[in-house]
Copies of this chain bind each other. A is one copy, B any other.
Amino acid sequence: MGRWQPGARERLERAALELFLERGFTETTVPQITARAGLTTRTFFRYFADKREVLFTGEELVPERVAHLMAQAPPSLGPMELITEILTSSAAEILERRDLDYVLRRRAAIDAEPALRERELRKFSLLSEALEQGFRDRGVDDLTARLAAEVAVSTFRTAVTRWLDQHGDPDLPAMINQTLSAMRRLTSTPSA
């Protein structure tokens, strides 16, 4: 290699998050990020496809992990049972890679910037597609598979949001169970 910088990617992520929180996403230029990380602008775009991606590394692995989880689940499980399984086991893994403080700071930055919120929506959309495919692979019909994926993502996103709103106070599995219960109550209501 040439002048390789140990942990270059991590330094870029940290510098970017700091600057986004200090002066905002739009007001932060890529040269400012790379200056703080001790690299050049060109190198930033070798690690990240665009400025927003610096807050979304590793997220692209989630869909395949979900696919793996679904393939391993007992075939007897119905869609809603499987959703419950997946969400509770996914919840356990959320703090494996990052600590709560990082997650909260990252979310503050994302919430403050529409462009980042939009990128976050794409993340959930990709997750939804993986779930849908997983359901179809288990023999669920297309329409039900699509809806089950939507329900799973809706429940997960809602639970995580509320969990972060409360600074992780009740733990995430508890929050997911609570959200699933509310979803059951809602949909068991008369609908027409």
Contact = CB atoms under 8 A, between A and B. Distances in A.
A83 interface: yes
A85 B121 CA distance: 27
B186 A80 contact: yes
A148 B118 contact: no
A185 interface: yes
Interface in A144-180: 144, 146-148, 150-151, 154-155, 157-158, 162, 178-180
A168 B183 CA distance: 31
Nearest to A188: B188
Contact of A81 (B119, B151, B158, B191): B191
Nearest to A141: B182
Interface residues of A, number: 39
A189 interface: yes
**Is the contact region of chain A dominated by helix, strand, or loop, or is it mixed?**
helix
B158 A143 contact: yes
Nearest to A85: B192
A98 interface: no
Interface string A91-125: 00000000000000000000000100111011001
Which 8 residue pairs across A and B have the least CB separation, nearest first? A150-B154, A187-B187, A80-B191, A121-B121, A80-B189, A84-B192, A78-B189, A143-B182
Interface of A: 78-81, 83-84, 114, 117-119, 121-122, 125, 143-144, 146-148, 150-151, 154-155, 157-158, 162, 178-180, 182-192
